[in-house]
Amino acid sequence: MTSLKSTLPPQDRPALDHNVEIITPLKVRSPSVPGDPSRSWRSAVIPILLFLMVLGILAAGGHFFIRHLSKHPMNLTEPAHQTAPSGVDADGKTVPESHRTAKLPIEPGNRSAPYPIGRPTLDPEKSLSEKEAADTALAAFLKLKKALEEKGVAEWGGKGYEEMTTLGREADSLLMDNALLAAAAKYVQAERKAAVLADMAESVFQGLLEEGVRALEAGDSSTARQKLRVALMIEPSNGLALENLERAEKLDEVRRLIESGKNHEKNNRFAFAHTDFQEALKLDPDSEDAQKGLNRVNEWIVGEQVQRLMSEGLTAYHNGDYPSARTRLLKAKAFRPDSPEVQNALAQVDAAIRLAKIETLQRNAKTAEQTEDWEQALESYLAVLKIGPRIEFAVKGKDRTLEQIRVAKRIGFFLQNPDALASSRQLQNAIGVIRAAETLQPKGARLRGQLDELKMIVDAARTPIKVMIESDDLTEVAVYKVGKLGRFSLRELSLRPGTYTLVGSRNGYKDVRQKIIVKPGQKALRITVICRNKV
């Protein structure tokens, strides 16, 4: 018997188990011996036996092949055409040339791959352990690789990314060749490269961000956008990178507006320049060039407005229209708070307004004094003193009006209450008021009239009235505020106007009490005081 491997051409060889040889029966020409039945029977049975032996061998090989595949499933993720393994097996042993597999095509969609011929049988437990190691290393590498790819590592990984990718492909190839331990080792190396790249991500991000900002400041919008977009692959939610990318995307339009604003500014079209710089700042609030341009234009516009307001304010000042002058100069000050010219002009106007107000109040005070309206005069003087606490005429005017008011109030009291003069103390007070009023200046007609009236009341209160008291020489008579008079039949007294009480007393008789009122200018009074009722 000869091997099928040696008798069939390569394209017709079936995929068999490595250790199974296909035995085919030889074609034997046996001479026919006529008339020999036993030879004829052997000729028929031998091919059948040989065919059954071949079927048994094929069944045993198929059983072994299926069992091997259940423990070592093949990786079908490689391209359709695979290169047969080299002359070294998974254990590092050289495989004979006759046992190496040829390049076998795998049709798309055909999930079964040819099993290499001549593969040595592996220890199932050892193969399972190697497979788990390879799977673990592969999973760890793929997890880290996916995280890096989400951060755009292909854009910034450089040589490290290329080395990681190369190691990954080599590991995949080893895995397809079923070199599990070697594949696991390669995956570990690839994972280490990936870990290095992951550690670099933060510093790479900072570098890209700085480069993007520098490009933005230099006006290179293309480079700025490219750097910042890659940076955002690493940190998609970074606010600074997002803000600068937005600026970079608007940079060209911002620069166009700035150039347009400068041209308008050069040609004294400041209103148009103001609009362009303002629009540029709306697109990019952080643009220094736009802000500087807007400041220049605003300065010019403000200068023009200040000059106009100053001119109008000073014109109003010279025309005596101080309120209007002050209004315009205050607007100018709002534009230029620190301008010495504006401050000096405003000080002149304020001084003029202050002086005019003082003069008005002084005139009002004098008018009030002339009409003896001392309260109104005092109010005007106090208003002047609020403007200037040391203004001399207001200080003196305040003192003068206060004295006039004080004397007028005291005179009015006695004129309204003349009976109060019956009291010696009040009479002295009234006399003092008269003396104070005599010294007052100015002395108006109203004051003089009130003073004369008070003098008359005082004179009357000071002039005694004759009072005749009759008695019976038995009654003791006494007059309150005057004293005890004793017993008499007739007694004459001189009493100032006022109210007096007379009391009579006698042993064995009830006391008598009598009240009299002595009025100014009254004629002589006659009063009888006698105790007549016995106890």
Q: What is the DSSP string of 433-472?
A: HHHHHHH-SS--HHHHHHHHHHHHHHHHHHS-EEEEEE--
- In degrees, rounded to 5, the angle at the alpha carbon of residue 266 between the alpha carbons of residues 310 and 217 is 110
pLDDT digits (tens, 9 = 90+) for 58-107: 655 554 555 544 444 444 333 333 333 333 343 444 334 333 333 333 33
* pLDDT tens column, 386-412: 998 999 999 999 999 999 899 999 989
Looking at residue 45, what is its pLDDT?
A: 55
- pLDDT value of residue 257: 85
**Long-range Cβ contacts of 449-456 (<8 Å, 24+ apart):** 450/408, 450/411, 450/412, 450/415, 451/411, 453/415, 454/411, 454/414, 454/415, 454/430
Beta-carbon count within 10 A of 167 CB: 21
Query: DSSP letters of 164-186?
Result: HHHHHHHHHHHHHTT-HHHHHHH
At residue 64, the pLDDT reads 52
Measured between alpha carbons, how far is 382 from 364 in angstroms, rounded to an integer?
12
Tabulate helix, strand, coil % of the chain (nearest 5): 65, 10, 25
CA distance 383 to 361: 7
Q: What is the pLDDT of residue 380?
A: 94
The string over 217-226, giving b where at least 16 C-beta atoms fall within 10 Å of a residue's C-beta and e elsewhere, is eeebbebbbb
Q: What is the DSSP string of 512-532?
A: EEEEEEEPTTPPPEEEE----
pLDDT score of 522:
78
Q: Are 204 and 156 in contact, with CB atoms under 8 Å apart?
A: yes
- Rounded to 10 deg, the angle between the 270-283 and 239-266 helix axes is 170
**Residue recorded with tokens 């009722």:** 533
Coil vs helix vs strand at 303: helix
Contacts of 129 (CB under 8 A, 6+ apart): none
Instruction: Fill in the DSSP letter of residue 509.
Output: B
Is it true that the peptide bond before 442 is cis, omega within 30 degrees of 0?
yes
| Segments in the chain below pLDDT 50 | 1-41, 63, 68-120
Three-state secondary-structure class, residue 320: coil
Q: b/e per residue, 152-162, with b = 16+ CB within 10 A? A: bbebbbeeebe
> What's the CA gap between 137 and 204, in Å, rounded?
27
**What is the spatial distance between Cα 259 and Cα 512, in angstroms, rounded to a whole number?**
120
Q: Are 489 and 470 in contact, with CB atoms under 8 Å apart?
A: yes
Rounded to whole angstroms, the Cα distance separating 512 from 532 reads: 9
